[in-house]
Amino acid sequence: MFSNIDILTDRQIREQQLRSAIVSSLNAVPKTLPDILLWEDAGHDLFEQIAKSRSYYGAQADREIMKDKIDEICQSLEEDAVLIELGAGSVPHTGMVLDELCQRRMKTQYLAHDLTQSTLDHSLCRLASELRSDRHKSFLKMSGIVGTYEQFFEWLSKTDELRGRRVVVLWLGNCLSNYSDAEFPNMVDALMQSLSWSGAASSTLLLAVNECPGADVMRQAYDSPDGSSVAFIANALRQANRILGTEAFEYEAWTPVSSINSAGTSITWKFQSKQEIQLVIDERPVTCKVGEDIELITINKRGEADVAKLLAHSRAELVDTWRHQSLPWSKCIRERRYSLLLISHQVGV
Ligand SMILES: C[S@@+](CC[C@H](N)C(=O)[O-])C[C@H]1O[C@@H](n2cnc3c(N)ncnc32)[C@H](O)[C@@H]1O
């Protein structure tokens, strides 16, 4: 166990909330399931297999950009800065940044956040074993926080730990792609607002997004021929059964189906019923007709222009873009401060 992990909500309470969300989303029209079910326990291992595959181009692009821009990232973190990683998952790229900061003898506090405690624990233990020299020990402090994004933002707005310090936030792995156009700027705004309230001296967000690479590339990445995407998606039904405490979903009765929208900008995963199905949840029947869909997730591809447009009325300002070869990929977004003086304190990356 990694010793320094805070848990914002007790697992039992979180699972009760998730249970209520499942019940209400199955009773809605059209029926849906919360996509957060993908990240329950085994989902992380299944995702890691996908992320390692060649067709999942996003993970490789994130890594190459981080490697390429490591100098700028280190320069943006001045002495005693805080590096926060949102939805950190298996923390696939951050070790190299932390190592480089220690080589440059820069004191850094690294705070990793994720929804899933076991994943965060495993990732931080792995990082601690990789970064265990005396130099790492003297320059690096690592800790973790478990909770939803909303819970973490609330924690950020109340903590004293960031007061007067420079903060750089990494949000990698295209984590915001499952949020709609209406939700996307609200999420960025909520983060910026909570950093403002925390009293951080300045904050920079490195957000990985990516434009639609074409329907074929998107299908290979998100519905891979080796079946790993289907296994990842199907695991959500297993997790729904676990949270509901009953085998409400029989796997053989459902087909996971993906579809790309006509503009080629998003891919949606649904479960399609093979027969008429009566789910019994909380002793109340939920009927699904033959061929009826339960939507799980839509992954939206957004390019630089889309992101700039969505953030036009938010407190974040797009200040730079780092691209991966042919794929426009990563964006650097810096907070737009209300005070000019504070803007002049910010160090651009
Ligand atoms: C696509 S993975 C990216 C992981 C990692 N950043 C990477 O680049 O490989 C999304 C991560 O966000 C976390 N996550 C998903 N929804 C979340 C939510 N609502 N609140 C907090 N974390 C969430 C998941 O647990 C998962 O680790």
Domain containing 241 equals 8-39+214-300
Q: Residue 325 has what pLDDT?
A: 61
pLDDT at 121 over 90: yes
pLDDT, tens digit (0-9, with 9 covering 90-100), for 48-81: 999 998 888 888 888 888 888 899 889 888 888 9
Looking only at Cα atoms, what is the longest distance across the chain?
Answer: 64
Q: Residue 333 has what pLDDT?
A: 59
Residue 48 included in any domain: no
Same domain? For 65 and 190 the reply is: yes
241 φ/ψ angles, rounded to the nearest 5 degrees = -60, -40
The model's pTM is 0.92
Residue 194 included in any domain: yes
pLDDT, tens digit (0-9, with 9 covering 90-100), for 300-341: 988 777 888 888 888 787 777 777 765 544 455 554 432 111
Terminus-to-terminus CA distance in the chain, angstroms?
Answer: 35
* Total tally of structural domains belonging to the chain: 2
Same domain? For 137 and 265 the reply is: no
Residue 68 included in any domain: yes
How far does residue 30's CA lie from ligand 1's centre (Å)?
Answer: 25
Pocket of ligand 1 (CB under 6 A): 36, 39, 51, 62, 87-90, 92, 114-116, 148-149, 172-173, 175
Residue 204 included in any domain: yes
How far does residue 87's CA lie from ligand 1's centre (Å)?
Answer: 4
Residue 52 included in any domain: no
* Helical segments of the chain, H only: 11-26, 42-52, 57-68, 70-76, 94-103, 117-130, 134-139, 149-158, 183-198, 215-222, 228-244, 304-310, 340-345
CATH number at residue 207: 3.40.50.150
How far does residue 175's CA lie from ligand 1's centre (Å)?
Answer: 6
Residue 50 included in any domain: no
Q: Residue 45 has what pLDDT?
A: 95
In 3-state terms the chain splits into helix, strand, coil percentages (rounded to 5) of 45, 25, 30
pLDDT, tens digit (0-9, with 9 covering 90-100), for 147-196: 999 999 999 999 999 999 999 999 998 899 999 999 999 999 899 899 99
Cis, peptide link before residue 92, omega less than 30° from 0: no
- The torsion defined by the Cα of 323, 329, 335 and 336, in degrees rounded to 10, comes to 70
Same domain? For 139 and 152 the reply is: yes
Q: Residue 349 has what pLDDT?
A: 27
Give the helix/strand (H/E) hosting 106.
none
Same domain? For 240 and 112 the reply is: no
Same domain? For 94 and 68 the reply is: yes
Residue 337 included in any domain: yes
